[in-house]
């Protein structure tokens, strides 16, 4: 079970662009000790110690909503300055180069190369609890058991990680996998940008520990 952070509470903005379980995220972050505000205000989102980008629904609709709220610009500016961003569910998917839904391609934020495509499984959507395979040096999953389970609700995912690091001064991203039909990317840690395909705010004690780990890096 996670314990709330001690000392000064870290300021986290849940970015409100019309898509995502923002109230669930707000409650989960507050429960582990963050000072949380739901807003799309530019200055508030830029100045917060952490920015959480939720997402529920269609890739294209989320991208359109994010752009209308200038969220694409805010995410890029924060990351350019090394300021932490956490994407959840479709909020993770839109960080990739593109999404394919019903044969239509939509451009994503292109923070990472890769395509969000339909899950290849007998049962879709992937809805319920599942385990993940996290790297041993993961900070996001620190303190969590290997058999911990997380709550997923999605019909699309990234099945291939293609980013190559050629600069020896840069650390390679840490990629966590899960399997539903075939393996897919379940989480990524890449400098100031972290993301999960599952919902930590709905994942009980394991999700609370994960959010505590993220807040601890702010």
Active site residues: 89, 199, 201
DSSP-derived 3-state class of residue 152: strand
Task: Write out the DSSP string of 74-109.
Answer: HHHHHHHTT--EEEETHHHHTTEEEEEETTEEEE--
**Per the structure block, which two tokens stand in for 157?**
């995912």
Alpha-helical (H) ranges within the chain are 22-31, 42-47, 59-68, 71-80, 90-93, 204-215
Cα 118 to chain centroid distance, Å, stands at 18
| Residues constituting the chain | 218
Determine whether 61 is exposed, middle or buried from the number of CB atoms within 10 Å of its CB (0-12, 13-18, 19+). middle
List the helix and strand counts (H, then E) for the chain.
6, 13
Pairing assessment for the beta strands 112-118 and 126-130 based on DSSP bridges = unpaired
Helix-, strand-, coil-residue percentages of the chain, each rounded to 5: 25, 30, 45
């Amino acid at each position: 079970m996670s314990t709330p952070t001690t000392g000064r509470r870290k300021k986290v903005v849940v970015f409100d662009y019309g898509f995502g379980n923002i109230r669930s995220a707000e409650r989960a972050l507050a429960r582990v000790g963050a000072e949380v505000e739901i807003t799309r205000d530019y200055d508030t989102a830029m100045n917060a110690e952490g920015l959480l980008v939720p997402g529920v629904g269609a890739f294209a609709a989320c991208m359109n909503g994010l752009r209308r709220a200038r969220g694409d610009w805010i995410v890029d500016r924060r990351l350019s300055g090394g300021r932490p961003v956490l994407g959840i569910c479709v909020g993770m998917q839109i960080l990739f180069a593109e999404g394919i839904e019903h044969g239509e391609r939509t451009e994503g934020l292109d923070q990472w190369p890769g395509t969000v495509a339909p899950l290849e499984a007998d049962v879709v959507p992937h809805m319920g609890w599942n385990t993940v395979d996290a790297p041993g040096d993961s900070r996001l999953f620190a303190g969590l058991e290997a058999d911990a389970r997380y709550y997923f609700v999605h019909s699309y995912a990234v099945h291939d990680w293609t980013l190559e690091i050629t600069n020896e001064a840069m650390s390679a991203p840490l990629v966590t996998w899960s399997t539903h039909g075939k393996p897919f990317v379940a989480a990524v840690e890449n400098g100031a940008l972290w993301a999960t395909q599952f919902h930590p705010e709905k994942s009980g004690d394991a999700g609370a520990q994960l959010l505590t780990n993220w807040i601890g890096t702010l």
